[in-house]
Amino acid sequence: MNEQSEHALKYSWAQTWADKPDDYIANIPHPPKSFLRIHKDYGPEGETRWHWVANTTINIGKGYADTQLEAQQSAEECFCDYVDKEVN
């Protein structure tokens, strides 16, 4: 990840598995068992896209983005929106 993308992200992202270079996870301490995950995927026409998922003990959101950074930001935004609604 480059310096610009790190400043644009709220959580710390790490490679999920050593043998899968295009798969990342951010573990969130609260609420317990929360995590965000992105991985490179291919669309029906063979185009590259990034799949993102936001989870607590339930799946709170998922989708696709054109770039890794957009996928990370979408997962983080989805998670933060969920937490804000739960708190307020």
Query: Could you give the CA distance from residue 56 to residue 84 in angstroms, rounded to a whole number?
Result: 14
Structural domain boundaries in the chain: 3-87
pLDDT (tens place) for every residue of the chain, 88 residues total: 444 555 689 999 999 999 999 999 998 888 888 999 999 999 889 999 999 999 998 999 999 999 999 999 999 999 999 988 876 6
CA 22, CA 78: separation in Å to the nearest integer? 21
- Supply the pTM of this predicted model: 0.85
Number of other CB atoms surrounding residue 45 within 10 Å: 5
| Six-digit token string for 65 | 């983005």
